[in-house]
Structure 1
Amino acid sequence: MALNLIKLCVGCDSVEDLEEWIAFRLDERRRAGEPVEQYHTTRMMPTRGEEILGGGSLYWVIKGNVQCRQRLLEIRPIVDDEGISRCQLVLEPVVVRTEWQPRRAFQGWRYLKADDAPADLGAGRAGLAEMPAKLRQELADLGLL
């Protein structure tokens, strides 16, 4: 089974916010003539990269719940403009909604075993993804999601 990463999605209030941000950044890169790819830069390089790239995803925690994931395509070491080593997590720009799973705040990213990862929303729960974000959050706060 693939190993995953989990990370807080700081600055997004909903999955829709994340999708809009991704579309905006891809469009910016397209207009600038840069490679059209989505990546997230982080400070630490995963030591278990081979396990992650064997089908793993980055699960996003939004407003205290894992709500979605993106498949990890590549993990690339870089050096930023200040000479500091960083890591780019190259992501498939497709956001897959998952069942909500409560998570406390943490810094950086963590490994997430496949057995502990929330399931993707299947056809039987597709209506949940169409529900307004505010209503989903209220239901989650009540422990109903």
Structure 2
Amino acid sequence: MSLNLIKLCVGAESIEDLETWIAFRLGEMRRAGEPAEQFHTTRMVPKRAEALLDGGSLYWVIKGNVQCRQRLVDIRPFTDADGIGRCHLVLDPRVVPTDWQPRRAFQGWRYLEPKDAPRDLGEGRAGWTALPTELRRELADLGLI
């Protein structure tokens, strides 16, 4: 059975901002001759990696709301130059918009059961992503989306 992670997307103002950052980093890697793959570095290694890699995603909290997800491709523990254990969460670079779900700030990442995860925006509701970010945020604050 699959399992997900949820994490704050620190520094991103919107889904579009996250997508721009991903494209920039992948371009830098290509120019440097490195394999172009997107990953997020974290300190802790998930103990439930097998369930996460069975179709799980990393759900991003942007400005107080879960707004999107990226499929988890791999989990790679490593030790950095200072001897500190870390982990690369390797992600599919495609960002999938989801229903907005309010979340309070927290540190690190948390497990997210599939039953508690917001739905992907479907064909009939994809128009929400066409709205300006500020309008979406205001509607979410009012509890309308």
TM-score range relative to shorter protein: over 0.9
**Which secondary structure state, in structure 1, belongs to the residue aligned with residue 78 of structure 2?**
strand
Q: What RMSD over aligned residues (CA atoms) do the two structures have, in Å? A: 0.6
Output the amino acid matched with 2:19. E
Distance in 1, matches of 2:25 and 2:78, equals 19
Secondary structure at the counterpart of residue 76 of structure 2: strand
AA in 1 matched with 2:59: Y
* Partner SS state of residue 36, structure 1: coil
Equivalent residue for 2:98? 98
Aligned residue-pair number: 145
User: What is the 5 A alignment of 1:1-145?
Assistant: 1-145=1-145
**Distance between the aligned counterparts of 1:42 and 1:125, measured in 2?**
33
Displacement, 1:130? 1.1
Distance in 1, matches of 2:89 and 2:36, equals: 14
User: For residue 98 of structure 2, what is the amino acid of its counterpart?
Assistant: T
Structure 2 letter corresponding to 1:45: V
TM-score, with structure 2 as normaliser: 0.99
* 1:142 shift after superposition: 1.1
- Identity value in percent: 72
SS at 1:73's partner residue?
strand
Distance 1:62 1:2 in 2: 23
Mapped partners of 2:142, 2:4: distance in 1:
28
2 CA distance for matches of 1:32 and 1:84? Answer: 25
- Counterpart residue identity of residue 24, structure 2: F
**TM-score w.r.t. length of structure 1:** 0.99
Secondary structure of 2:106 counterpart: coil
**1:17-37 CA deviation, whole Å, 9 max, x = no partner?**
000000000000000000100
Query: Following the alignment from structure 2 to structure 1, what is the Cα–Cα distance between the partners of residues 17 and 81?
Result: 28
